[in-house]
Amino acid sequence: MSKSSARLLVSVLSVSLLSGCWDQVQIEERGFVVGVGIDLPSSKEMERQAEKEAPDKPKGKRRYLVTHQFVVPGGLVSNSQGGGGSQSSTGDPFQNLTSEGDSLFEISRELAVRTSRSPFYQHLKVVIVSEEVAKSPNTFADVLDYFLRDPDLRRTSKVMISKGKAKPVLEVKPKTEKLPSLYINSVAENTDRTARMIPEVRLGEVHEDMINEFSFVLPRIVAANNEVKVAGAAVFQGQGNKMIGFLGEEETEGLNFLLGNVQGGLLKTKVKDNLVIFNIQGTKRTIKADVRDKKRMRFQFFIECEGVIAESFERLDFMESRIMDNLQKTIAAEIERLSHDAIRKVQKKMKTDVLELGTYVKQTHPDLWKQLKEDWDHGRNLFASSEIEVKAVVYIRNGGSVNRTEIR
Amino acid sequence: MNTLPYADQKIGQKEMVFIVANVVIGVGILTFPRTLAAKTGSIDGWISILISGLVASVIGWLLGKLASRFPANSFFEYASLIVSRPVAQVITFLVGIYFLLFVSFEARALGNIAKQYLFTTTPVEVITLAFLLIVQYAVAGTRIALLRLNMLFFPIVLLISAVVQLYSIQMLELDNVRPLFTTGLGALLQGSKEVNLSFSGYEVVLFYTLLMTRAEDAPKAVVKGLLIPIFLYLTIYIFVIGVFSAEVVKNLTYPTIELAKDVEVPGGFIERVESLFFTIWIMTIFNSCTVFFDLAIFNLGSIFPNVRKFTWLLIISPLVYMISLWPQNLVQFFSLGDQLVYFGIFITYLVPILLLLIAKWRGVRGDE
Amino acid sequence: MFRRVWEKWKNEAIASCRKQQSSHSDQQASNKTPLSESLQENLDIIKQRLGNPQDLIIRPFLIDNSGRACAVACIDGLVDSELVHDKVVKHIQLLMSPAGKAIPAPDEDIMAFMLNEVLSIIEVKTGTTMEEVLDAMLVGDTAFFVDGSHTTILIDSRGWETRGIEEPVSEGLVRGPRDGFNENIRDNTVRIRRRVRDPKLRFDATTVGRRSKTDLIVAYIEDIAHPNIVNEIKRRISTIDIDQVEESGYIEQWIEDNFLSPFPQVQNTERPDKVASALFQGRVAIILDGTPMVLLAPVTLGIMLHSPEDFYERWMVGSLARVLRYLASYLAVFSPALYIALVTFHPGLIPSDLAFSIAATRDGVPFPAAVESLIMVTTMELLQEAGLRLPKPIGQTVGIVGGLVIGEAAVSAGIVSPVMVIVVAITAIASFAIPSYNLAIAFRMIRFGAMLAAAMFGLYGVVLAFILIVIHLTNLTSIGVPYLAPLAPQLVSDWKDYILRAPITFFKKRPDMLQTKDKTRMKAGRSQ
């Protein structure tokens, strides 16, 4: 039973003496990276310098400008308390470090010469890739390779595409939150209040789409005046994983309806020149397909949407079923309009299947999909030549707490 | 000293079930979804799991039959009864070597994964050494206590697996699961061959039936013990595919850990579940390791009866450690594992089944 | 390895002791001094043997009429002097006065007469050797000598000042009996007898300590306790060979299964109700004179974490309290280790906001988390030890001063982080929630090991430490009963009194793990 106790003691001692403490890094010495922004360098200066220093060094095709957002924990503590053991600091609770190089890992390691704290990625919340990087051929997947490969990084970090440079996005100073990245992170979760934002896309999901060669959309983020706006979407072509272009806010709304992503938001409609605003509380989408003719496949989207009236500038009697029926139809027509706008853009202009029709075909007609796979939204682009219809039904569950505000 | 009758050195059917389940669940559970998805390419891999589970159960049942034929004999003893003593010596020696290699393999697997997910600078050598020392401490104790450890740790392991699966339900995407039934039979069989490697370990029944109060329960116990991993593998495979899709799973080194990595526990109590999952998983690896280590000593010891158990421990421990440090990288390591399993299939499945046939034919039975 | 050396050493030691002992007793047998017929001679020998101490009382007097000299000898303080006065000296003098009984003729056996007709005391015996007399006197008997007789009457007149029955200090309860054991073995057996009015209750007495000759009683209920357990305990007690036994801890350490284990393998209590319920469970109590701490064996980890109150309160309350205590034992062992592991190895496991604020509060702390924890945990141990040694009111003050002031000051001085103080506080509170003090000490010791493992390998180290502890526990036995009993080996029928406590009507059988002879606890459960 305790025969080996002595031996155990000896070995534990030897292990403890041997081991030292390799992986011990005190929590305050870690550089918590909460956000990463990836840009292309604006000048060739660094590249030239690197060329000069080591001309024979293996070089990547592309150089990146990566901004790491580090948390400065001292800045997070409110100073009014006085104690807390930390030196009172009045500085920012974060620090952005930008570095250039042709490998993301290299850049991450290069930060060691510039900061006392080694980057620690386990709390990484957002990865922001600039439009420029996303649009360059074969770059997007290369960029994400590092984030997926390193076991330290998690597949749950959110990926967004910035309109313009990524760096300014990480430099906004929001009033409500202390860290820009956490602020962006929580803004991106507001999908239950607006339909203009596509649901958060996590690193792992991007990986799935890239491997499956499906086209996909990522949320668009725009920085302006010390705040960010997460609205609109970036469309990626599955073949080559290259960004094709942005969808505007309205188009994104349409896309969300088509994808069944809408959990909340609003729809405006006009009744007798006055606005009536409908508060969306949930949608359901079903697809029907007719795939007999490969060249002209027909897809039908059925969108069911329910909600309540949020605001009405026209004094309507919401107790009357005829009025409600009419209203439901006009709102449905609005959904269809939005959807058609989105379809026009992605199908006709971008010719990229972000409507997940490919996935649908794969699931329902796996054999057919095997034939189509190579010609779906590239090659012969059967997607672009298919017919897509949208049919929307709206259920107004009630007219709100009051029927009318005034009698006109 | 046995003060009380129940504190004796015997195990019941329940213990056997848990031991088998625990020993089978090892390194395989982390990697099998990758190999299986690579072969079948879809959710249909679950059929492969069932097929290989069935095959394992049949073999396990046969092994149980063989062992329960000789309720009071050790493997070496009944092997010598069936096929003369020198042949039995060779077989038992090989079996001992197999288990020895298996311990090294599992210890190294643990070192590799710990290195990848928990440490960055701590050398694998030290991680493995610390683990092996604990294993040795367990093996140095009584055999019955070692087997009882299985009963203690296994529920914890099941619990954490259940937690991971429970919280990944919200991430299941039906899109990833469909279409069903698209994989051909050939691919399914190929897949089941891959999964079979992850089912190895139930051969312990050959050696521990000796300790059972009712040896005739051994075949039943193996099958019941195998049902647990079969069920666990099924759910894990479905979840992994459902969350990641088959294409992605093919490209994940340890899909099951990645599943835990994706999980977010509501309430933000713990930020990352995978470290927790992994640390708990150490317990099951530990269990398999102690059992295999014990069997290595048991078998080698039964050939040389006058060497004491403790001496064997001293001889084998450094050997296991050195072998575990042999592979240079993951690829080598996995191929070592595969070769080891093939060796195991030969020495612990084919040979014993052959023994069973000979025993039946010659009518050899163990004395009660 | 140690074990083997220890066994060997122990056996040798025991063997040599036995040899000595036997030779010693042989000598004694041959050297026993028979009492002399002369009173004076006897009294002289007593004086000489005891070194004529100050507390030796010898009261010679004459039996009336016959003029025969007699004497009582006793030791002051050990005897109830009132009893000796009223029931012995006065009695004899009164009864044997001319108005009293007829005095036997000189040639008749005066001792038999005394026993049969004069002394109205229950516990009397006769003695014939000087050794007998001395032993009896030293436990509080009074020796009565009559000149011309070489027997003596030894009257049980034990009656010394004892502490009254007080509430147990170390094991407080909200609900439950308030009486506790005291230092007098007779009082203690009474407390047990009062609760167990079973004719099968056995008090097997012996003495331990070659010089101290301390009374020891092994108590059990004959048709419940498994004979193997009782015999094993008696065998181990019989091997005890030390010259003095002060406290039941001596016994505990001699009879425990594994002296290298940090875990206590014998339970101690000063609550008679706990002892009584243990006896009904089929366990054995060892009562030692001179200490209120009664030993209970065998014991399992589960039993150590139980409190009698679990059964006094309703089952839900009891079960919840137990769950809490199990949780407390994990916290008591692992919380500083987990703090070290999480803060220095796996900050990724901590929720982001918390991680950042811990990082913020640790900003400026000069020590690594491992050292920081070591400092704080050691300080806490110091405070606990200091609080124990000081008189009660001051002890509490030390606790408060230490806990609040040092904690606060250390934080504001930037030596430790506030989170660390919280962790240490949780650890301390958790270890106070453990009902057995000796188990709590064991946990406190293991805590340091866990912290070391965490400092080396983080969470991996903590898990290895946990596995190590569990291996040790599965191998550990208490008088042959596995220490983790209802869990390993699994005895599912015992689980109703384990982490949860089932409703009282469910306990139809006695615990399986003790293999009691009489298994039935209730014939038919609750009938309504």
- Contact across the interface for C368 and A71, Cβ inside 8 Å: no
CB-nearest partner of B149 from C460, C471, C480: C471
Alpha helices in B209-326 (DSSP H): 218-244, 246-250, 255-262, 273-303, 309-324
Nearest-CB residue to B118 (from C228, C459, C470): C459
State the Cα–Cα distance between residues A383 and A387, nearest whole angstrom: 8
Mean pLDDT along residues B19-47: 87
CA-CA distance, B53 to B20, in Å (whole number)? 13
Question: Is C249 strand, coil or helix?
Answer: helix
pLDDT tier at C221, thresholds 50, 70, 90 = very high
Does the distance separating the beta carbons of B145 and C489 come in below 8 Å? no
Which sign, positive or negative, has the C-alpha torsion B10, B13, B19, B20? positive
Domain finish residue from C299, C327, C343: C299
Helices (H), C109-226: 110-113, 130-139, 185-195
* CA–CA min distance B37, chain A (Å): 14
Confidence tier at A345 by pLDDT (50, 70, 90): confident
Asked if residue C262 has pLDDT above 80, the reply is: yes
A122, pLDDT greater than 60:
yes
Question: Are C265 and C396 in a shared domain?
Answer: no
The answer to whether A122 and A156 are in contact (CB under 8 A) is no
Say if C501 falls within a structural domain: no
For chain C, the chains sharing at least 3 beta-carbon pairs closer than 8 angstroms are: A, B
Among candidates B182, B251, B313 on the partner chain, residue whose Cβ is nearest the Cβ of A211: B251
**Is C2 part of the contact surface with chain A (CB cutoff 8 Å)?**
yes
What digits encode the pLDDT tens for the residues C38-65?
888 888 888 888 888 888 888 888 876 6
HEC-encoded secondary structure of C17-86: HHHHHHHHHHHHHHHCCECCCCHHHHHHHHHHHHCCCCCEEEEEEEECCCCEEEEEEEECCCECHHHHHH
Q: What residues of chain C, 317 to 346, have a C-beta less than 8 Å from chain B?
A: 345-346
For residue A77, list chain C residues with Cβ-Cβ distance below 8 A: 357, 360-361
Terminal CA-CA length for chain A? 93
Q: Tens digit of pLDDT for each residue in A372-388?
A: 777 887 777 788 888 88
Taking an 8 Å cut-off on Cβ atoms, the answer to whether B116 and A366 are in contact is no
How many other β-carbons are positioned within 10 Å of the β-carbon of residue A90?
7
Which are the contacts of C451, defined by CB distance < 8 A and separation ≥ 6? C336, C337, C340, C370, C373, C374, C377
Regarding whether C76 and C112 lie in a shared domain, the answer is yes
Answer whether residue C131 is part of any domain.
yes
- Same domain, residue pair C111 and C222: no
What pLDDT does B40 receive?
A: 85
- Which range has the worst mean pLDDT, A73-82, B351-360, C458-467? A73-82
Taking contacts as CB-CB distances below 8 angstroms, the residues of chain C near B4 are 226, 228-229, 480-481, 513-515
Query: What pLDDT, on a 0 to 100 scale, did the predictor assign at position C489?
Result: 80
Amino acid at A270: K
Domain end marker among C242, C265, C299: C299
Reported as a pLDDT band with limits 50, 70 and 90, residue A87 is very low
Report chain A residues whose CB lies below 8 A from the CB of B248: 204, 207-208, 211-212
- A156–B136: do the CB atoms touch at under 8 Å? no
**How many residues can be counted in chain A?**
408
Q: Nearest C-alpha of chain C: how many angstroms from A67? A: 20
Residue B116 CB: number of other CB atoms within 10 A?
A: 17
Rounded Cα distance, C59 and C69, in Å: 11
Kindly report the CA angle at A234 between A232 and A235, in degrees rounded to 5? 125
Across the interface, whether the CB atoms of A15 and B126 are under 8 A apart is answered yes
Interchain contact A4–C (C-beta under 8 A): yes
How far apart CA B193 and CA B199 sit, in angstroms, is 10
Is C245 in the same domain as C141?
Answer: no
Which of chain A's residues have a Cβ under 8 Å away from the Cβ of C423?
Answer: none
Long-range Cβ contacts of B165-173 (<8 Å, 24+ apart): B165/B235, B165/B236, B165/B239, B167/B263, B167/B264, B167/B265, B167/B266, B167/B273, B168/B239, B168/B243, B168/B259, B168/B262, B168/B263, B171/B243, B171/B262, B171/B263, B172/B239, B172/B242, B172/B243, B173/B242, B173/B243, B173/B245
Q: Which residues of B touch C355 (CB under 8 A)?
A: 271
Q: Does any CB of chain A come closer than 8 Å to the CB of residue C370? A: yes
C364 and C291: one domain? no
B6 pLDDT more than 70: no
Q: What one-letter code names the amino acid at A259?
A: L
More confident residue, C333 or C521: C333
Q: Are residues C204 and C69 in the same domain?
A: no
Of the residues A27, A30, A78, A89, the best mutation for testing chain C's interface (the one with the most C CB atoms within 10 Å of its CB) is A27
Residues C424, C352 share a domain: yes
Residue B268 CA from chain centroid, whole number: 34
Q: Residue C5 above 90 pLDDT?
A: no
Do C135 and C65 have their domain in common? yes
For chain A, give the mean pLDDT.
Answer: 81
Per-residue model confidence (pLDDT) at position A12? 57
- Which of C139, C156, C173 marks a domain boundary? C156
Q: What is the 3-state secondary structure of C255-267?
A: HCCCCCCCCCCCE
Query: What's the CA dihedral at B59, B60, B66, B68 to 10 degrees?
Result: -160
Find the closest chain B residue to C453 by CA distance.
B130
* Collapsed DSSP state (helix, strand, coil) of residue A352: coil
pLDDT at C126: 84
pLDDT at residue B1 greater than cutoff 50: no
User: How many CB atoms are located within 10 Å of the residue B332 CB?
Assistant: 11
Tokens 């729809």 belong to which residue? A267
Tokens of A288: 């029907």
Nearest-CA neighbor of C63 among C16, C110, C22? C110
Sequence-distant contacts of B140-143: CB under 8 A, at least 24 apart: B140/A3, B140/A4, B140/B310, B140/B313, B141/A1, B141/A3, B141/C471, B141/C474, B141/C475, B142/A1, B142/B9, B142/C475, B143/B9, B143/B211, B143/B294, B143/B298
Residue C463 near chain B (CB below 8 Å) = yes
pLDDT, greater one: B170 or C455: C455
CB distance A205 to A256 below 8 Å: no
| For residue B11, pLDDT beyond 60 | yes
Model pTM score: 0.86
CA distance A263 to A257: 9
Whether C319 has a pLDDT exceeding 90, the answer reads yes
State the Cα–Cα distance between residues A84 and A81, nearest whole angstrom. Answer: 8
Question: Which range has highest mean pLDDT (B134-138, C137-141, C489-493)?
Answer: B134-138
CATH 1.20.1740.10 at B11-350, yes or no = yes
Q: Is A268 exposed, middle or buried (0-12, 13-18, 19+ CB in 10 A)?
A: exposed
- Judge whether residue C367 has pLDDT over 80: yes
Residues C232 and C132 in one domain: no
In terms of CA atoms, which chain C residue is nearest residue B264?
Answer: C351
Q: What is the CA radius of gyration of chain A?
A: 27
| Residue C357 domain-assigned (yes or no) | yes
> What pLDDT does B2 receive?
52
Per-residue pLDDT tens digits for A177-222:
888 888 888 888 887 788 888 888 888 888 888 888 888 889 999 8
Which member of A3, A4, A366 has the closest CB to residue B182?
A: A366
The pLDDT tens digits of the residues spanning C102-152 come to: 666 655 677 777 777 777 777 888 888 888 888 888 888 888 888 888 888
What pLDDT does residue C417 have? Answer: 87
Dihedral angle of Cα C359, C360, C366, C372, to the nearest 10 degrees: -60
Give whole-number Cα distances, C487 to A226, C47, C472, C526, in Å.
Answer: 60, 61, 14, 28
Task: Give the best residue of C3, C361, C451 to mutate against chain A (max A CB count within 10 A).
Answer: C361
Q: Number of residue pairs across A and C with CB atoms under 8 Å?
A: 119
Q: Which of C348, C457, C471 sits opposite B130 (nearest CB)?
A: C457
Domain span at residue C43?
A: 39-156
Location of structure tokens 């190999």: B35
Number of Cβ within a 10 Å radius of residue B144:
20
Q: Where are the domains of chain B?
A: 11-350
C477 shares contact with chain B (CB less than 8 Å): yes
Q: How many domains does chain C have?
A: 3
Instruction: Name the residue type at position A34.
Output: V
Chain C residue with CA closest to A84: the answer is C361
More confident residue, B268 or C126: C126
Closest CA to C280 of C173, C192, C182: C192
Q: Is the pLDDT of residue A251 over 70?
A: yes
Whole-angstrom distance, CA of residue C208 vs CA of residue A261? 82
pLDDT value of position B307: 80
Task: List chain C residues with CB under 8 Å of B138.
Answer: 467, 471
pLDDT surpassing 50 at residue A14? yes
Is residue B198 very low, low, confident or very high in pLDDT (cuts 50, 70, 90)? confident
- The percent of residues above 90 in pLDDT, for chain B, comes to 17
All domains in chain A, ordered by first residue: 28-51+60-78+89-247 (no CATH), 250-408 (3.30.300.210)
Residue C26 maps to a domain: no
Percent of chain C with pLDDT over 70: 90
> What does the alpha-carbon distance between residue C19 and residue C25 come to, in Å, rounded to a whole number?
10
The predicted model gives B306-314 an average pLDDT of 84
Answer for the pair A236, A140: CB distance below 8 angstroms, yes or no.
Answer: yes
Residues C198 and C144 in one domain: no
C203 within a domain of the structure (yes/no): yes
What mean pLDDT value characterizes chain B? 85
Are C457 and C402 contained in the same domain? yes
Q: Is the pLDDT of residue A236 over 90?
A: no
Q: Does residue C320 share a domain with residue C289?
A: no
CA-to-CA distance for C301 and C311, rounded, in angstroms? 18
Indicate the range of A24-38, A68-82, C352-366 predicted with least confidence: A68-82
Q: Is B262 at the interface with chain A, CB within 8 A?
A: yes
Interface of A with C in 168-197 (CB under 8 A): 182
